[in-house]
Amino acid sequence: MKQFKTKQHLTKSWFGSLLLVIFFSTNVFAGGELIRIGQAWCQCAFQPTEVCLMDNWVLYVDKELHQIYTFTHSGTFNGNLSRDGNCVGPEDFTPFRLAYIDNLVFATCHHDNAVKALRNGKVTEKITTAELGFPNAKPTAINAGDYFIYVALDNDKLVAMYYDFEVETIIDTNCVAMDFLDENLIVITENGFLKTYDVDLNFISEKDLSGHYAGQIQNPTDMVMDDEGLIWITHDGGLTVLNNDGTFGVWGNKYSDMEIERTIISGDPIVGSKGIFPANAVDTSGGYFYLTQNGKYGLTVSKDLINQVPSSQVHFMAIALTEDEYWKQAINIWKLQQYLYPQVLVAVFQDSGLEKIGINGNGVYLNGEYITDDFSEIENVEIFGDEILECSAETSNININVTEGKLVADVSKSDEPFETSLALLEIHGEKTPLIVDDISLIHANRFQKIECDINIPEYPSVLFAVILNKQGKSLGARIIR
């Protein structure tokens, strides 16, 4: 989160405590697990560009109104930070990003390109980028740790300075956002690299997260670490949560995430196209996460709504139908693909290749078992989808590992390991719903393993890797991208 509890600060003692007084509150929207934030008590519709947690409050920034608004964690409005009753703040205050630590609020301000300290919502001290030696630079990201305030500039400089704004270190690095993990500073760059520095800004490591697929990062806008060490990143693809075990979660890339019904086919979240909620700021606390969409509104969302994507899927659905039937059901199939992902991978087969995966005849098959050939049943996507998700069909969770272009799957625990095979389904992601173009089969070797070299397809194509037993039942599946 964008606050870092401290034991000590190397700073002058001119900061006082931040007094919080409830001025007025209005519950702007209560929609269960997803709460929309977008109005102040005077009914002014603000356009939040930043969100930051401050103890029991959520701070939302509107740089066009020169103001910082406060809300409860559940979305109830609680006045502006300065508690002066004004919707519009002072014209010389254009906050962009915030950092909060032990009752101290810092803001990067684009009015005069400065870092400003706030006490009771009022600016008390500041330092401009010109005073830092970079007169044409804008301050962007900001965070505060035990010893230093860290400020990123748009000229690819990262500054560490004491709380009295005395500069300690300046390094060259691009930085869109930053937060702390195990007393190290974690930085996300505009090209999707995750960099780690110690508190003195000595470089430790980096990891490339960039890409167009789900789980990869496109044009990051913000990042926070939560109490469990999970990394939350907003970007063009929505929100991606990187888990400690190497898996990830996604939100904001499916219309169902926003409780929106969409009848027009567009990009597919499985492939990793741009999300419907390209958030520009994020923070998290407890069971909720908080987002802003630039120029629109903010959201309070339950963490339960994150769509967790395991590294190995265990359910696979094949929909086999004619081309004519496909065009009748294309929208419903597209919705079903979104609704079931990531628990179930759905692929469409048209007229050929079915015998390779043990399917005889058109219809809907789950893990190789026939479900129905009445395609009108999928027209009610939620009812049909919920029945699929509640299906008790047992499958073997065979882990499919892909490393540096080599696939390995241990099938020794399957009933007939030597009769087990791998189906590689080639799918071109620009076709929505996802349609299988080609199928390759690889059989288990004498070591009861399936091993093969694969060419990981270029975006937007993907591979579905499906482990099949002798009867064509799916024992495990995953996406390769």
pLDDT over 90 (residue 117): yes
Name residue 306's beta-bridge partners.
Answer: none
d(CA 231, CA 207): 13
Q: What is the mean pLDDT of residues 177-192?
A: 95
Q: In this structure, what token pair is assigned to residue 298?
A: 């903010």
Percent of the chain surpassing pLDDT 70: 82
Percent of the chain surpassing pLDDT 90: 41
**Amino acid type, 110:** H
Nearest to 426 by CA among 453, 466, 399, 396: 466
Counting Cβ atoms within 10 Å, is residue 111 exposed (0-12), middle (13-18) or buried (19+)?
middle
Cis omega before residue 342 (within 30°)?
yes
Q: What is the pLDDT of residues 301-332, one digit of tens each?
A: 889 888 877 655 678 999 999 888 888 998 88
Q: In this structure, what token pair is assigned to residue 28?
A: 């702007």
Residues 6+ apart with CB under 8 A from 188: 175, 176, 177, 178, 194, 195, 209, 217, 220, 223, 233
pLDDT over 50 (residue 58): yes
* Average pLDDT value for the chain: 82
Q: Which of 80-89, 158-167, 390-399, 432-441 has the lowest mean pLDDT?
A: 390-399
Nearest to 311 by CA among 268, 342, 355: 342
Residue at token pair 């998700």: 389
Nearest to 25 by CA among 61, 74, 90: 74
Asked if residue 231 lies in contact with residue 242, where contact means CB atoms within 8 angstroms, the answer is yes
Cis omega before residue 220 (within 30°)?
no
The pLDDT of residue 111 is: 94
pLDDT over 80 (residue 53): yes
d(CA 320, CA 341): 18
Asked if residue 192 lies in contact with residue 209, where contact means CB atoms within 8 angstroms, the answer is yes
Helical ranges in 117-264 per DSSP H: none
Q: What is the pLDDT of residues 198-210, one digit of tens each?
A: 999 999 999 999 8
Q: What is the mean pLDDT of residues 223-246?
A: 90
The pLDDT of residue 13 is: 28
Q: What is the pLDDT of residues 369-421, one digit of tens each?
A: 899 999 999 999 889 999 988 875 555 568 788 888 899 999 998 888 999 99
pTM summary value: 0.75
Of 371 and 1, more confident: 371
Query: Measured between alpha carbons, how far is residue 160 from residues 24, 165, 168, 332, 338 in Å?
Result: 38, 9, 6, 53, 44
Residue at token pair 């929309």: 36
The pLDDT of residue 140 is: 96
Q: What is the mean pLDDT of residues 344-365?
A: 84
The pLDDT of residue 393 is: 53
Q: Which of 7-11, 152-156, 168-172 has the lowest mean pLDDT?
A: 7-11
Counting Cβ atoms within 10 Å, is residue 304 exposed (0-12), middle (13-18) or buried (19+)?
exposed
Side-chain half-sphere exposure of 242, counting CA atoms within 13 A: 17
Dihedral angle, C-alpha 152, 158, 161, 167, nearest 10 ° = -120
Q: What is the mean pLDDT of residues 213-217?
A: 76
pLDDT over 80 (residue 43): no
The pLDDT of residue 461 is: 82
Q: Which helix (H) or strand (E) holds 327?
A: helix 323-340
Nearest to 163 by CA among 4, 5, 11, 17: 11
